[in-house]
Structure 1
Amino acid sequence: MESFDFIEMRFPAKPEYVGVIRLSLSGIANRMGFTYEDIEDLKISISEAVTNVVNHAYRAEEQGEVTIGFGVYDNRLEIMVADRGGSFDLQDIKEDIGPQANEESIENLREGGFGLFLINALMDKVEIKNDSGVIVLMTKYLEKLGVGLNDDHVSTGQ
C-alpha cells in the first residue's frame, strides 16, 4: 500500500472559516512544492467546495460542520471536503467513491452546478459520493520541475 500523510480538520460550516481552510491548504501545497498557479487552482477549488457546504448542506437552524481531509502523497495531493461531519478513512472512502456520472444532472447535487464545473476544470480528478451528506474528493498531481524542494540554488552548468 502506498504511504501518505493524512491531515484532517473540522470547522463550523460558516463563511468566516473559508479563509482559514484556504490558508491551511496553501501551506500544505507550498510545502509539497506545487507551483504558484497550482496553489491558486487548489485554493479556488477548495473554496468552491467549502462554500457549497456552507450554503447548501445544512438548514439555517442546524449547527453544521465541514470536514476537510488532506492526503499528502509523494506525487499528488488529495483533498476531501465532507458535510454531515464524522471522521473518515481515506482508503475506505476511495473504495466507495466514483467519478461524476455524465447522465446524472450536475444541478441535482446540492453542491450547485457552476462550482463543480469550476472544480472539474481546475483539478486533475474529481470524485463525488452523494448519499448521506456529500463528499467531494479532489486530486491534483505534483509536476516535478528541475529544482528540488530543498535546493537553495540553481546550477548554471558552468
Structure 2
Amino acid sequence: MDQTKDIVLTIPAEAQYVGVVRLTVSGIANRLGFHYDDIEDIKLAVAEACTNAVDHAYKELECQGSVRVTFRIFGDRLEIRVKDEGKSFDIEAVKKRSGPIENHLPFTLMRERGLGLHLMETLMDHVDIQVGKGVVVTLTKFIHRDEVDRDVNSPAKTESHG
C-alpha cells in the first residue's frame, strides 16, 4: 500500500502568489525524481489552475479569499489539489464553449473560452474538476522512471557532427 505524504500551502487569491506555488511544486517534483520536461509541464498546469482560481473564484464576492494547494505524494505519482471557496462554474459549458482551438483569436480570448482546461488536460496524466461550494481541481502526474527512450529528443541530448 502506498504511504502518502501531504504538503499543504495556502496563498491569498492574488496573482503575485502563484509564483510561490510554482516554486513549491518544482521543488517537490524534483525531489520525487520527475524529469525536467515533466516538472515544467506540472508547473505550467498548476499555475493555470491557480490563476483560474485567482482570476475567477472571488471576482464577484466582497471577500479577498484564498487558494489552498495540497501536494499529495504517492510512490508512483504526484497529485496536486487546487481548491478555492469562491464562485463555481459550469464545467460542461466551458468545455462546449472552448471547441477547437482557433489560431486567429487573441490568446486572452482563447483562454477565456477554456484553453486553460485544455492545457491542463494536455500536460497532466489526469485532471479532475469538482464544482460545488467553490472549485477543486486535482491534477495528477505519474513518475516515469527507467525509460531509456524518454530523453532521445531532449534538448539536453545534442549530437556533435564532425
Aligned partner letter, 2:27 = G
Partner of residue 11, structure 1: 11
Deviations 1:37-76 (A, max 9, x none): 0000000000100000110000363211000001101110
Query: How far, CA to CA, are the matches of 1:84 and 1:8 in structure 2?
Result: 16
Deviations 1:25-46 (A, max 9, x none): 0000000000000000000000
Which runs of 5 or more residues in structure 1 are unaligned? 86-100, 148-158
Secondary structure of 1:126's counterpart equals strand
Deviations 1:54-99 (A, max 9, x none): 10000363211000001101110000000018xxxxxxxxxxxxxx
Query: How far, CA to CA, are the matches of 1:62 and 1:114 in structure 2?
Result: 27
Identical pairs, percent: 47
Which runs of 5 or more residues in structure 2 are unaligned? 98-110, 149-162
Give the structure with the larger helix fraction.
Answer: 2
Displaced runs of 4 or more, over 4 A: none
Secondary structure of 2:139's counterpart equals strand
Query: For the Cα contact (< 8 Å) 2:2–2:75, is it kept in 1?
Result: no
Measured on the aligned residues, the alpha-carbon RMSD in Å equals 2.3
Larger radius of gyration: 2
Q: Taking structure 2 as the reference length, what is the TM-score of the superposition? A: 0.73
Is 2:22 aligned against 1:34? Answer: no
Q: Taking structure 1 as the reference length, what is the TM-score of the superposition? A: 0.75
Aligned partner letter, 2:25 = L
Shift in Å, 1:107:
5.0
Partner of residue 127, structure 1: 128
Is 2:106 aligned against 1:105? Answer: no
